[in-house]
Amino acid sequence: MKVRVLGLDPGLRRTGWGVIESDGARLHFVDAGCIAGDNDATLGERLAALHSAVAAVMAQFAPDEAAVEETFVNMNPASTLKLGQARGAVMLAPALAGIPVAEYSATQVKKSVTGSGHAGKDQVQGMIATLLPGFRGMGADAADALATAICHAHHRNTHARWAAVAGSR
């Protein structure tokens, strides 16, 4: 069964998005990009614009499910809080549309794509280009969003197999 997944890598300055189709173990690249925030806008304006941009991506690509990378907690609490607010704005768009939203840690995402939870951005981008041949030079934010979508596709397939086994007992 084909499932279209929207992966999101939230940020106030740059939010990566990527759309894939998962058909069992097969993955197909649909599109990817980056939403750039207006650094001169107020926080409220930036969050509203981010939400609207994600809603526009969803309207264009009609995903069945969405996946978002969890907030990375850094040394600056104010930056972490703002990133959390951006994440909320990003997650709200699919949630309001009735689309399930899954969350994955950065370690889970990297491990799903590269085999190592501590892979660098270059390694992630390289594996995305290998796994999704249509992806070329769209930047680290888009690659991270696609990695999140791939992570979700792998996890949802595993859970579906577990459910099928449990149902046959």
Q: Is the pLDDT of residue 158 over 70?
A: no
Q: What is the pLDDT of residue 168?
A: 63
Q: What is the set of domains in the chain, with CATH numbers? A: 2-167 (3.30.420.10)
**Beta-bridge mates of residue 67:** 7, 102
Residue appearing with tokens 């990695």: 147
Active site residues: 9, 69, 141
Residue appearing with tokens 């994440």: 87
Q: What is the pLDDT of residues 51-110, one digit of tens each?
A: 999 999 999 999 999 999 887 667 788 888 888 999 999 999 999 999 999 999 989 999
Phi, psi at 69, each rounded to 5°: -75, 135
Using DSSP, state whether 156 is helix, strand or coil. helix
Q: Is the pLDDT of residue 160 over 70?
A: no
CA 52 – CA 94 distance, rounded (Å): 11
H or E stretch at 87: helix 77-96
Amino acid at 53: A
CA distance from start to end of the chain = 23
What are the C-alpha distances in Å from 41 to residues 48, 81, 87, 111?
10, 17, 18, 36
How many residues belong to the chain? 169
